[in-house]
Structure 1
Amino acid sequence: MTDLAIAATGLRKSYADKTVLDGIDLTVPEGTIFSLLGPNGAGKTTAVKILSTLITADAGDIRIGGHNPATDPQAVRAAIGVTGQFSAVDGLITGEENMLLMADLHHLSKQEGRRVAAELLERFDLTEAAKKPASTYSGGMKRRLDIAMTLVGDPRIIFLDEPTTGLDPRSRHNMWQIIRELVSDGVTVFLTTQYLEEADELADRIAVLNDGKIAAQGTAEELKRLIPGGHVRLRFTDPAAYQSAVSALLEVTRDDEALALQISSDGSQRDLRSLLDRLDAAGIEADELTVHTPDLDDVFFALTGPANIPSQPKEAVR
């Protein structure tokens, strides 16, 4: 079994009479991307702050890289890097100076600090801009510099708290590629985001946090199967074939004008094979078959809507 980079059980945090985290459990295997989704105020940033030792939990057992932040916070800090919602870049100094400042904070020698800074600036395509004030950088460049600064200490676990907020689509896709490259090098990424497409694109596993509790967690595909609404659409050009399909298939939604049928389906291979077998047995061939499954938008709204929050966390299992 893959070793866990992050493991938290029964994580709780309250401020006065407001419960922000209400006993959540999180596990993140090494070398994977884990995404925590949730509406504003759900507790995502609080979870990141606790796991990265910025604040303490009221209760819960936590292991980060095998270390307990309550008893050995320095070991945890040595293993992690954090890129927060707001850039840590100092706009008054150059990109290179920002990197060297981080090298000093990590107690690297001048020679080693310059080597690491140069390598990371090149890796993040910032060499040409290295001597320019960071205030002149675009949003995407500042975010790349932010992550480069995070990597100065060679962390094996990185917390990215909404790293692409405010970026244009091209810069966001560039950031996705950077995150993938980090994981290919064995780094574990804990990602919070409000962009559902981002979680769908990047994450190996996703947890949906709502009102301080985990509403559901699993892979993107597993989460989509929790939500009803998936279906297969069959379209015909031959009215006779259409009528035969109506007779052969049960519980279909008809569109007589378009000669199309809609059949409820979870989108799984087994479900689709069963439908095709029934069509083959009846000697029916559709001219067009499309599979529609719920996307993460559907999952998010279903799990975080006030009338649809599960009373107990669900673990999506194939």
Structure 2
Amino acid sequence: MRKPATFPRHLAADPRQFASVRRIVLAEGPEAGIETLAFSTGGGLDFWVTVGRLMDIATLSWRGVQLGWQSPAGLRRPDTGPAGRERRFSTAFGGFLNTCGFDHIRQPADGRPLHGSAPFTPARLIAYGEDWEASAPMLFCEGEALCWAHGGFGYRLRRRIEAPIGGSSLSLRDQVTVIGAEPAPIMALYHFNLGYPMIAGGSTIELDGECLAGPLSAPEDAVTPASLHPATSAQANCSVSGQAATIAFHWNTVELPWLQLWRDLRPGAGVMSIEPCSIGRLDDGRNAPSPVLKPGGSCVFEIDIDVADCRRSSGPLGAA
């Protein structure tokens, strides 16, 4: 991780000259009304957190270049009609992070929709801002979302996101608690989505030093089916190197022991997904069993993300 920059605060009228979190509301088309927090670390890393979409990370740019995958759906809420319930995730899929769970992940099964019932649930913002007085000054936000249905699932997500001021990293900490009347499993899949120029010809994906994909050749003719990889250490390290940057994902494998990869690099799609997840998959494609927790039981998931200049040389971003 690069050491955060320091700033001469006495030379500015307001510390937001250097770094800030600003609360905005999107106003156009299907995105209208989505409450959003715009983070600018002052260290080259900027990102948006969409409170109106489960406090997921919608955009992530490095030195002015967008790395997160932006889909034609935009930052909208999903369609809610009963006919499309199984595939509601697909109607709003996009952005740097879509959190999946907590009653289900992966393909629809047993009446549960693709990637579960939690994605895109509006959250309640509890706190946000800049903490210049901390021993390590930081930007932060914290919020809560309830995913609940009477007679069915019931979960509370408490999320905190932090980014060091002057830095090039961010951390995400989730606590998911069973709040229904019945015991329930907690399943989680963190659907990180990267697009061009992060994913282009020559991009590589490594897990704990082993190359899992790449060098990629883009575009491709077909969707590449999801592949599942067990973590091999207590702290997983997944590194993605592309034309624009290197992104490293770090997480504890006690709660997230698997990494799933999926990509659609066909013309007009151009997405690569990095997906730390809590459970594996059986040979027939169904989810492996997940431990059942009593009401009040919880799981904590933590993921750290570092962004740096690309380790390999490349031509200009527009080069083939």
Q: Normalising by structure 1, report the TM-score.
A: 0.22
* TM-score w.r.t. length of structure 2: 0.22
Q: Which has the higher contact order (CA 8 A, sep 6+)?
A: 1
Bigger radius of gyration among the two: 1
Q: Which has the higher helix share?
A: 1
